[in-house]
């Protein structure tokens, strides 16, 4: 079970590092990749990106270093919240194709949160 958790944590971290990096540091590329980015402020997109990057660090580092490992499930809950709100945003905009990615990452983050608590 521990190996499965680490694999899922790694997948979640990689996904959020990619997404967060684009949003936080490559705004123009994010704008070209995702239509919704054009409809919200740049500051908000950067904020989401930084939150995703911090969550990606938080889902790996505390557990890996055994320094405050309780932060790992807390980070997973935070990432699940980001994905859930993102899914609701996509539903509101009728971007149903985007929701499948949200559902997968939500399930992974909840799995990590429950398993690590």
Q: Indicate the burial class of 21 (C-beta count within 10 angstroms; 0-12, 13-18, 19 or more).
A: middle
Say which residue the tokens 């979640």 belong to: 12
How far, in Å, CA of 82 to CA of 86, rounded?
Answer: 6
What does the DSSP assignment read for 28-53?
A: HHHHHH-GGGGGS-HHHHHHHHHHHH
Q: For residue 64, what pLDDT is reported?
A: 95
Question: Would you state the pLDDT for residue 35?
Answer: 86
pTM of the model: 0.91
**Low-confidence residues in the chain, pLDDT < 70:** none
pLDDT tens figures, 90-113: 999 998 888 999 999 999 999 999
Q: Are 30 and 45 in contact (CB under 8 A)?
A: yes
> How many CA atoms does the CB half-sphere of 101 hold within 13 Å?
11
């Amino acid at each position: 079970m521990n190996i499965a958790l680490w694999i899922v944590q790694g997948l979640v971290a990689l996904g959020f590092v990619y997404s967060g990096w684009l949003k936080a540091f490559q705004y123009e590329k994010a704008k070209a990749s995702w239509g919704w980015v054009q409809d919200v402020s740049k500051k908000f997109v950067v904020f989401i990106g930084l939150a995703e990057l911090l969550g990606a660090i938080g889902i790996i580092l505390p557990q890996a270093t055994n320094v405050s490992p309780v932060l790992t499930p807390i980070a997973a809950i935070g990432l699940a919240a980001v994905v859930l709100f993102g899914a609701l945003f996509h539903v509101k905009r009728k971007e149903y194709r985007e929701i499948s990615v949200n559902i997968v990452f939500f399930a992974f983050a909840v799995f990590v949160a429950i398993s690590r608590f």
